Amino acid sequence: MFMQYELPFEVDALEPVIDRETVKVHHGKHHVTYTMTFNTLAEKAGMQDRDVTEILKDLDSVDDEQLRTGLRNNGGGFFNHNLYFEMLTPGGKALPGGKLADRINEDLGGFYKMKEDMTLMALGQFGSGWAWLSVTHEGRLVISKTLNQDNDYSLKTGNVPIFTIDVWEHAYYLKYKNLRADYVNAIWDIVDWEAVEKRFLSVVKDYS
Ligand code: MN
């Protein structure tokens, strides 16, 4: 059974950056639906005992096109939202430190340059999708964007995502309407950099 990430805070705790109604609908409806549908489809494909990341990397083994597309969209939706919500926290937490900060400086030109570039990446995603901060298999950081519910696994980039920004309209439309830039600029205030760093360290320890 694939379990949805449970919010360790109240639905209004991300205000004013993300309003109560958006969190309720986004986590309580959209993410729930991706999770339920993914569970159903994974079972149908006989893949229910595998890790979601392994399933997304192995979509080519699913012959039925409709099932394959369903797994890609709903497995992606399940995983991407788990990562998204896990890296957000009321009021945010201290800027990146330690080894994560070193990599951001070295690979992405420092925190403010990374923030600027990832913001532009998020704004440049035409239509629905995601912006990503990921670790390559050399342990370096890269930023990217994907369409729909695609991610590093379904696209087989070989990278591991550690932070993401949802730029589907359902992530911001109730509060920000068409102003995606205002939402993306504001989200930096609620990032849990301790959680991102923890994830980064758990990824790179496998490489050393
Ligand atoms: Mn979403």
Cβ contacts of residue 51 below 8 Å, gap of 6+?
none
CA of 120 to the centre of ligand 1 (A): 19
Is residue 130 very low, low, confident or very high in pLDDT (cuts 50, 70, 90)?
very high
CA of 176 to the centre of ligand 1 (A): 15
CA of 133 to the centre of ligand 1 (A): 17
CA of 208 to the centre of ligand 1 (A): 34
99-127: per-residue pLDDT in tens? Answer: 999 999 999 999 999 999 999 999 999 99
CA of 80 to the centre of ligand 1 (A): 8
Q: Strand pairing partners for 135?
A: 141, 160
Is residue 207 very low, low, confident or very high in pLDDT (cuts 50, 70, 90)?
confident
* pTM exceeding 0.85: yes
CA of 165 to the centre of ligand 1 (A): 9
Work out the mean pLDDT of the chain and round it to a whole number: 97
User: What confidence score (pLDDT) does residue 94 get?
Assistant: 86
Residue 88 per-residue DSSP state: B
User: What confidence score (pLDDT) does residue 208 get?
Assistant: 63
Find the mean pLDDT for residues 150-159: 98
Pair 159, 146: CB distance under 8 Å = no
Task: List the structure tokens of 208.
Answer: 């050393």
Residues of 147-182 as b/e, b for ≥16 C-beta within 10 angstroms? ebbbbbbbbebebbbbbbbbbbeebbebbbeeebee
CA of 34 to the centre of ligand 1 (A): 10
Rounded distance between C-alpha atoms, residue 1 and residue 48, angstroms: 7
Name the 3-class secondary structure at 101. helix
CA of 18 to the centre of ligand 1 (A): 13
Q: What DSSP assignment string belongs to 2-61?
A: PPPPPPSS-TTTTTTTS-HHHHHHIIIIIHHHHHHHHHHHHHHTT-TTS-HHHHHHTGGG
CA of 144 to the centre of ligand 1 (A): 17
Whether cis (ω within 30° of 0) applies to the bond prior to 96 is no
